[in-house]
Structure 1
Amino acid sequence: MPSQYEVRADFDARTVVMYQAFPPAIADAALRAGRFTAPFSFNRMTWIKPSFLWLMHRSNWARKPGQERILAVRITREGWEAALAHAVPTTGDPAALAAAAVHVQWDPERSVRGAALNHYSIQVGVGRHLIRTFAEEWVVGLTDLTPQVRKAAELVRGGGAARAQRMLPPERVYPLDPELARRISP
């Protein structure tokens, strides 16, 4: 896999952090329960992203309607790699994509100011056939990052991008099995 398509994430020996943006009702219910629960939908694809800055771009730093709350979703590495093992790139064969349990999409990574960078971030769409497995077996922790996101966004808007950068989660290249890397390549 070319280096501009490496998966970068915050991870440890057992887990990896994904980021998701939700409306307050979903985030509040999940945080109260310590897991995803209604009104989270178990009947449609949910997109998980290991790139914090890509999600900040996508959610406009938690200002986009329906994406006002940012959660760090810690999942098992075993679950993450199982998702990737079921993945089909969105740029691939349409019939294979339609039948896939997991979709993979690559988009330009973003700087703290939102500029497109010369490498790509992975977005993983967990389909409805794996949603319960994701929510009940892979997820091991939920953390509300919304206050941190709002503070970082204020810094960026006020010219303090370097200070905001220091607040970001640490992300490094995730070690993928070569076969998984080939499977998710665009």
Structure 2
Amino acid sequence: MNIYEIRANYDDNSIIMYQAYPKSIALPAIQTNRFIPPFSLNRMTWIKPSFLWLMERSNWGLKSGQEMILAIRITRQGWEEALSQAVLTSYNPQVYAHSDEWSAQFEKALVYVQWDPERTLRGKALPVNSIQVGLSRHIIQKYVNEWTIEIQDATPLVRKIYGLLQQGQEAKAKGFLPKERIYPLNQALARQIGMK
């Protein structure tokens, strides 16, 4: 049986998303505490609440164009608003009556949800699926102008953890990981994004 979990660092009002960017986008965002050009409002952006999932995807910030890791604190209200408008990136018969219904919704979706295996500190796939959310250009302005509370540079933390891993100090590296726990969702929303 597939397990789907939203693992995140969150409090009563906010939740942290992770994104990897080149310096040209990340540095202005950190300096102004908001996304400004050359960040584009006209192309999709993917946000991920799982730190280790993004580490796997960005190869610990070593991939070209993904050298800086940002921790973006957004409102929980914004996060759940995004999920409430989400369509899965692939057909799931437990969510959609038939594939035509899914196709029709997918064509006009503002937000996309994709599930991929969660990762260990060493990048090994776990038997738990972790969420990533794609915000289309039709909703990205809300992310930038309404939902985002704070943009922090997580790159030094990433470098520190990665350095410890390279030295074989896995236990010590684990101690620096962001404290993530399972994010609670109401049943209707969980069902809509394929968790139930």
- Common fold, TM-score beyond 0.5? yes
Cα distance in 1 between the residues matched to 2:170 and 2:88:
33
Cα distance in 2 between the residues matched to 1:61 and 1:183:
31
| Paired residue type of 1:4 | I
Cα distance in 2 between the residues matched to 1:99 and 1:160:
47
Counterpart in the other structure of 1:171: 180
- TM-score of the pair, normalised by structure 1: 0.96
Shift of 1:160: 1.2
Q: Which has the larger radius of gyration?
A: 2
| 1:150 aligns with one of 139, 159, 172 | 159
| Paired residue type of 1:156 | L
SS in 1 for 2:26: helix
SS in 1 for 2:149: strand
Deviation sequence 1:95-135 (CA, Å, 0-9, x none): 32121000000000000000001101100001101111110
Counterpart in the other structure of 1:184: 193
Identity across matched positions, percent:
54
Counterpart in the other structure of 2:58: 59
The yes-or-no answer on 1:69 pairing with 2:68 is yes
Shift of 1:3: 7.5
Counterpart in the other structure of 1:12: 11
Shift of 1:161: 1.6
Equivalent residues in 2 for 1:21-170, closer than 5 Å: 21-92=20-91, 93-170=102-179
| Paired residue type of 1:161 | E
Cα distance in 2 between the residues matched to 1:173 and 1:151:
25
Shift of 1:52: 0.1
Cα distance in 1 between the residues matched to 2:103 and 2:20:
27
Shift of 1:11: 0.3
Cα distance in 1 between the residues matched to 2:43 and 2:104:
18
Show structure 2 runs of 5+ residues with no match: 92-101
Deviation sequence 1:2-61 (CA, Å, 0-9, x none): 772021110000000000000001000111111000011100110000000000000000
Between 143-152 and 90-99, the greater mean CA deviation after superposition: 90-99
| Paired residue type of 1:115 | K
- TM-score of the pair, normalised by structure 2: 0.92
Show structure 1 runs of 5+ residues with no match: none
Runs (4 or more) in structure 1 with deviation over 6 Å come to none
Cα distance in 1 between the residues matched to 2:19 and 2:145:
16
